[in-house]
A and B are shown apart, each in its own frame.
Chain A
Amino acid sequence: EAGVVQSPRYKIIEKKQPVAFWCNPISGHNTLYWYRQNLGQGPELLIRYENEEAVDDSQLPKDRFSAERLKGVDSTLKIQPAELGDSAVYLCASSSSVLSYEQYFGPGTRLTVT
């Protein structure tokens, strides 16, 4: 069974440029998460989806970050415009439901903003 797929794996952009990350969760998983991981820290939740509905986006910086999961399957996280402080690894995870005890993580996208 394929795991969580993310692309690109690496992205280097200049500040003020837009960037987008894509995630395809495990087939059949209704719950999708986006996390941000700064260097030396644990991942921090940005947003959680139940199917196509964003049910927890309290940690998403809404002035520059946006996310969508239009058909309740794959998802896109966008930053516009990017700032130097956005350099981090962006992780996508999925689980079969919010009641599931296990989240499956993708390998992440390492973003460098110069």
Chain B
Amino acid sequence: DAKTTQPTSMDCAEGRAANLPCNHSTISGNEYVYWYRQIHSQGPQYIIHGLKNNETNEMASLIITEDRKSSTLILPHATLRDTAVYYCIVRALSNFGNEKLTFGTGTRLTIIP
């Protein structure tokens, strides 16, 4: 069972910041928060991940609350190419390596021109 809860769908105006929320209230101390996205007819694409600190890369920013029970993925200036399904995933890293990615149903983000 997926360990995260996301809204089914969201819209965002082109050029504005897209803020995608994710609840993971049962997250464990050794579990990271990952975000992937899947553009239509393509395989999922890694975006970003974090443990407890906020993270930023060339694609997005990840804000994790202090209690780690929720997070927000931010696309700072959304473009039409950001229209996709966004998956929030919690995933542990143990001495044996990463646990498998368990995808939920994600958030379908539509960027409006």
Contacts and interface: CB of A to CB of B under 8 A. Distances in A.
Nearest to B44: A105
B105 A93 contact: no
A107 B41 contact: yes
A10 B87 CA distance: 24
Main secondary structure of the interface of A (DSSP, over half): loop
Interface residues of A, number: 23
A106 B43 contact: yes
A85 interface: no
Contacts, number: 52
A75 to B, nearest CB: 15
B108 to A, nearest CB: 10
A40 B101 CA distance: 17
A4 B44 CA distance: 12
Contact of B45 (A40, A43, A100, A105): A105
Contacts of B100: 45, 48, 56
A41 B105 contact: yes
A50 B12 CA distance: 40
Given A98-B97, A103-B101, 7 more contacts: A4-B43, A41-B103, A45-B100, A45-B101, A98-B96, A105-B42, A108-B43
